[in-house]
Chain A
Amino acid sequence: MPVSLLWAVDVYGRVYSLSTAGQQWEQCRDAQMEFKRVTAAQQCCWGIACDNNIYLNVHASDLPVRYQEETYENQRWNPVDGFSERLLPSDRWQWSDVTGLQHQPLDSFQLPSSSWEWEGDWYVDENFEGEPTEKGGWSYAIDFPATYTKDKKWNSCVRRRRWLRYRRYKAMDTWAKIPSQQTTLPDPFSDISCGGWEISEEPRGRLSLWAVSLQGKVWFREGIYHHNPEGSSWEEVLLPGEVVQISCGPGDLVWAVLWEGQLIVREGISRDCPKGSSWAVVESPSPDVGAIHVAVGINVVWAVTKDNKDRAVYFRQGVTSSELSGKTWKAITVPRDGDRSHSSASANSLQRWIGLSGHTHTPHYICALLKSGCHAASASPESFVDVPTDSSNPPADPPKPRIPKVTSDSFISELVSDREPGKSSRDIGSAPPAVPEEESIPGEGEDKAPCAGSALSPSQSGGPLDPQWSNVDLEEAQQAQTVAAQDAADTCSLSSVATYTLAMEDPYGADEHPLWAWVSGGGCSVDTLVSSVQSMSLSVSPAQTAAWRRQIFEQLSERTKREMDNFRHYEQAIEQSVWVKKGTMQWWRDWKPHKWIDVHFALEQFSGPDGNKDGILFIYYNYYEEKKYLHAFINEVTILVPVLSDSKHTFAIYTPERTKQRWPIRLAAATELEMHDWLALLSVSCCDSRGIHGPPSKQAIWSITCKGDIFISEPSPGLEAMPYPTPCDQMFWRQVGGHLRIVECNSVGIVWGIGYDHTAWVYTGGYGGGFFQGLASSTDNIYTQTDVKSVYIYENQRWNPVTGYTNRYCTRLTPPFVLSHLTKCVVSDWTIDYSVSGGTDREGWQFAADFPASYHGYKTMKDFVRRRRWARKCKLTTTGPWQEIPPIPLSDVTILPCTAQSSVDVVPVWAISNKGDVLCRLGVTAVTPAGSSWLHVGTDQPFKSISIGAASQVWAIARDGSAFYRGSVSAQSPAGDCWYHIPSPAKQKLKQVSVGRTSVYTVDENGNLWYRQGVTPSYPQGSSWEHISNNVRRVSVGPLDQVWIIADKVQGSHSLSCGTVCHRLGVQPMEPKGQSWDYGIGGGWDHVTVRGNSVEPPRLRLPSLTDPSTRSPVPVRNTEVNGVGS
């Protein structure tokens, strides 16, 4: 989980931030201004300074904020001048926008504020709809406005070209003033709240910012998104009264407090209308006193009332996305402590309350600020109250946290009066949960770091106390989200269990530590799991290198040498006997009609004649009352693969024969646990029989199934041999823990993966994890991994004249959607998915003439059916040899394939962010495979695939399906200098590229595999595309120029498989295109990478295809077997 920040302001207006990776509050040194209030999102923090202007602090990232300005130059042909800027009076401007309606000369473009700078000068865009144009970038048409083509024809009378210029937001990590609009904003702002990042993923980084002016007006900042972090303008929002304070949640919840004490709720907020449409009034929690403060999260609302004597905190019940204003108030009260001097006790109760509110899928936490006089002496982070706030599950047992009642009045105005020396022991803000280090923070003795206390010290109560409880201000209840802000991938834990260590005021003077005035946790996201794992791993690593451990390893191997090596011909004292494990399972029977039948399952293990352990699998079944069995030798099993199934826990067993048939042995266990037990046992047995132990070699071939499971295979020396390579249906695959969508490797052992939620992961060198327990898994290098996968269902409706669209007459109803083993990890409700290919209308519907057909996003006369896609996110938590590389989510990655001899020190790694930015990773070596930082490589459009070849030749595919070659990439210039546009194969949009030693292969969206002809060292772009194959989903070209693909529609003797690993045969230096395909494991595979396999095949060697030992040349530890029978 990426590092995120908690922001706070102290009573002197100084701004501090506390990083989830840090250990103390850092003062924002560059803030010249004093601030009143801050509100944070993940990527930025907004604040109101004492000059009443609004300031923005955008967090620096490896990805710059770049905005592309464009304008069009238009010309018309006349017989005298040819094409010239002399246009007809009825024509558009010589310089215009794309529509021609706006006059846009180059010099009319100004930087929007002093926070921006130009990246370079204007230049002509020479790409046209994914195709390179002739010099000059012109496209031609008969007339304006018309269809433009890149070729000049006899009737081309007009032409135009696009000019581009980038500006870059430069005011990173500093407070930049938002230009004010004096004409429309006569009065200063008094409150500000940002949120709304969960409403829509588009445009990227979109935020809602709400502000309240001193006159009680509410303003909405329009147009805030990633490329325009400052937003464009303030829009006044009409109100039923005067507002004092507003709070905006991460979703569609916006509440405000009126002067009169009622609350108002914004309604009509949606992805099309983030500003909402109207207000609904909610009465104050107490009939006598009005509310003074409100704080919202996702489906959570808290309020504080005004009563001077008996200020109370209320929780709003029944707030859901369909009923934003909720149902009733629930008071959260505690009797005020009679003895005020018991501050520590009170503080405990406060702390307990401060905890957090549980939510079904996202934790919220509430930062409460208790001002003046409340000692928040910190106890051990034990007691927190999870307040159930799930809309569908209103708290049956109302939350019983206790909070001290508070008196006195409002917030900012209170600051000065509170600052009486000697009485000013006040509470401090809160630190993010579950940062264990918090507890050991030393009081720095200066105003920088508040002492985040760990022990409840009785002396606290003896400190100078203000006997008055002053007030409690609830500030943010924004949930902590990181990925969600951009990607809506919920990464937070299911039930929010977190611990707050409340920073503690110590009995020193008020000036020594910040006295907090305001805190905002909107951008802060905390994962308890991750922190604890990290702290664990820290304690393990030093021991790994300890001298005593090395000594033991060395002595044990010496002992083996001394006591056993000369005596291996001796007889073993214990004869190996057979060990049988039995169980019951269901089997997908081989004969028709296919169905699940109950079978007995047995694994018999014994030692083979060569000392290797071996075994036989038996499946006993009944065939017409007759008992029969099916068996498979463990040493012939090539893979055990968990299969995605909606209701059963199933896995498949393949042998080379079964792979040819495309018909594995499919088994289903009664429970997931049982299946994992069997898989772990069988897997160990298979590895034993092949003498495979420990981590994969650097040459390993990695692949991923559509379920996200990761498999590795050790390439035999004969795998790329000519003319008789090892058939790839004989490859043995074993699973490693983790859940990924993409994995890429190279031959120095650097392996990167990308999860379904676009998180980047680096391989740690371990093995096992997941369901591999105990001995099949390495002790260290295994970490918790989470991934978020979306599951979809389609809602289908048919139109009829009476009722319009309805599902009543629809024969193709969505089947009941059961995800029994996934439901436990569901982290979001079903939501309409608007990102379906083909587009949708405002409600997410797609239309078609009939099922099944091609759908479009608008209704026409001929459309009688419609469908829409619902998405739901499932979070998986597993373990595996992977560590996260925050913070940028990726969609593709490539690592330079090294040849066996090469000694590359720094390994080039390129990646595409999930938004299409091209990135170059710096500092990647075999020792530090994660590298250090990203270097952004500018492009004119988003990219989707990238690959780097052995000679640093970088090829990439843009989202529009065109190919690019990056020039001059070298060790000295890791990012190269410019992109060369390579025309796509005719009428095809490319999808993916892979570059090996010299070969360049691409796959297009129609499943065609293309080879780049004419690539030479002097002309690395090549000359043309040659069609190689169809039904290809993905290609991986290795450092030997070996070509492997994932193919669809592979016909076996029993069945057809999609998603099959295939190997190109006959690839030779003089014949890089090869001759035919050899079909390996599948279907159901999504990804393969052979870029680690740089083992040159032995020359003229005829591999013996039956000897299993040739298939597993890798780290073998079989101390127990070598002595036998030799």
Chain B
Amino acid sequence: MADDKDVLRDVWFGRIPACFTLNQDEVTEREAEPYYLLLPRVSYLTLVTDKVKKHFLKVMRAEDVEEMWFEYEGTPLKWHYPIGVLFDLHASNNVLPWSITVHFKNFPDHDLLHCPSNSVIEAHFMSSIKEADALKHKSQVVNDMQKKDHKQLWMGLQNDKFDQFWAMNRKLMEYPTEDGGFRYIPFRIYQTMSDRPFIQKLFRPVSSEGSAHTLGDLLKEMYPDAITNDGEQKRYQVVIHGIEPLLETPLQWLSEHLSHPDNFLHICVIPIPTD
């Protein structure tokens, strides 16, 4: 019997094969080869693409280079979403490797946040963790941590150190047994069909009658369309980390095991391709 701890490993070590190609409009001195990379699902694009940048800079003149950004089939990719979320949301039903276009010009300011350095990613990551802990424990756990503990979480993500990260993250996943779960589940529901960035509301892991809330309960309240009713054709996939958990999966368990390192449960609702 597999152990729940193995889920954490599988989640952490999820990789997406990607092929980076330079946008054809970019001016190069010679033709740029595509660059292949295994991207960690739980990390952020700008955090893991130093090699990509270096690769393409070799064929470019310095004066043509502005801030690097990525696009997939016309959609600018938001670096502040975890890579796995971007993939599940935009590209999950297409062939691998995931083909990403690299731009060095015309930064789409209205679509993307600027990311001048890793410290911006760190700030974004830590603020997510703090927000999640505010929901889970009224911020008590994260506030009890020391500066170096916060650093350990970040360094664990940055350097892909599972043990280092989880040694600290374990504390963020604890809760009093008698409560049966966190105060609220930190979650975000993403949808491709909407202009809203994502759905995020307060939702408790345990119902007022004391029974455990499931993934289905959450969707029923937040996004009823995502649920296939009896007799209906399935229209949406509910994807977390590239898999579709059953709707009866307890939400608390999902939050503990399938959350991203930022401690949010990122749920993608994707329309089933019609063809």
Contacts and interface: CB of A to CB of B under 8 A. Distances in A.
Contacts of B258: 552
A412 B77 CA distance: 86
Nearest to B212: A543
B5 to A, nearest CB: 6
A694 B159 contact: no
Contacts of A552: 7, 243, 245, 249, 257-258
Contact of A567 (B96, B241, B242, B244): B96
A559 B14 contact: yes
B5 A779 contact: yes
Contact of B51 (A549, A564, A573, A577): A573
Contact of B170 (A572, A774, A780): A774
Contacts of B241: 556, 559
Interface string A558-572: 111011101100111
B246 interface: yes
B67 to A, nearest CB: 19
B10 interface: yes
Interface string B44-60: 00001101000000000
Nearest to B157: A574
Most chain A CB inside 10 Å of its own CB: which residue of B163, B241, B244: B163
B3 interface: yes
B96 A566 contact: yes
B13 A573 contact: no
Interface stretch (B35-43, B115-123, B193-201): B35-43
B8 A563 contact: no
Contacts of A577: 159
B107 interface: no
A780 B170 CA distance: 16
A1019 interface: no
B151 interface: no
Nearest to B38: A570
A688 B2 CA distance: 18
A780 B3 CA distance: 8
A1117 B242 contact: no
A765 to B, nearest CB: 8
Given A567-B17, A579-B164, A775-B166, A1120 B9 contact: yes
B167 interface: yes
Contacts of B16: 563
A599 B267 CA distance: 50
Nearest to A694: B3
Contact of A559 (B243, B249, B257): B243
B10 A560 contact: yes
B71 interface: no
Interface string B142-180: 000000000000000011111110110010000000000
A571 B37 contact: yes
B26 interface: no
A1122 B167 CA distance: 23
A557 interface: yes
Nearest to B97: A567
A574 B40 contact: yes
B249 A548 contact: yes
B167 A774 contact: yes
A571 B6 contact: no
Contacts of B11: 556
Contacts of A694: 3, 6
Contact of A576 (B1, B4, B96, B160): B160
A573 B250 CA distance: 33
Contacts of B250: 548
B188 interface: no
A854 interface: no
A574 B245 contact: no
B9 A573 contact: no
Interface string A746-773: 0000000000000000000100000000
A572 B248 CA distance: 35
Most chain A CB inside 10 Å of its own CB: which residue of B3, B13, B250: B3
A263 to B, nearest CB: 46
Nearest to B164: A579
A825 interface: no
A574 B157 CA distance: 10
Nearest to A544: B1
A573 B5 contact: no
Contacts of A765: 1
Given A547-B246, A548-B248, A553-B7, A1120 B13 contact: yes
B43 A573 contact: yes
A571 B50 CA distance: 13
Contact of A1117 (B6, B253, B257): B6
B38 A573 contact: yes
Contact of A778 (B3, B38, B257): B3
Contacts of B163: 684, 688, 775
Contacts of A560: 10, 14
B161 A579 contact: yes
B90 to A, nearest CB: 15
A1119 interface: yes
Contacts of A839: none
B15 interface: yes
A1123 interface: yes
A129 B2 CA distance: 55
A1120 B42 CA distance: 13
Given A567-B96, A574-B48, A1120-B162, A775 B243 contact: no
Most chain A CB inside 10 Å of its own CB: which residue of B1, B8, B16, B40: B1
A562 B258 CA distance: 19
A576 to B, nearest CB: 7
A684 B36 CA distance: 32
Nearest to B6: A1117
A832 to B, nearest CB: 45
Nearest to A1119: B13
Given A547-B246, A567-B97, A774 B164 contact: no
A551 interface: yes
Contact of B43 (A559, A574, A684): A574
Nearest to B36: A570
Contact of B14 (A544, A563, A1117): A563
Contacts of A543: 253
A564 B161 CA distance: 19
Contact of B38 (A544, A562, A571): A571
B35 to A, nearest CB: 9
A555 interface: yes
A1119 B13 CA distance: 7
B15 A574 contact: no
B245 A573 contact: no
Contacts of B245: 548, 551-552, 555
B167 A573 contact: no
Smallest CB-CB A-B distances: 5 pairs: A567-B17, A555-B243, A573-B48, A548-B249, A1120-B13
24 contacts: A548-B248, A551-B245, A551-B246, A552-B243, A553-B6, A559-B14, A559-B241, A560-B10, A560-B14, A563-B17, A567-B15, A571-B36, A571-B37, A571-B38, A572-B37, A572-B38, A573-B39, A573-B49, A573-B51, A774-B166, A778-B3, A780-B3, A1119-B9, A1120-B13
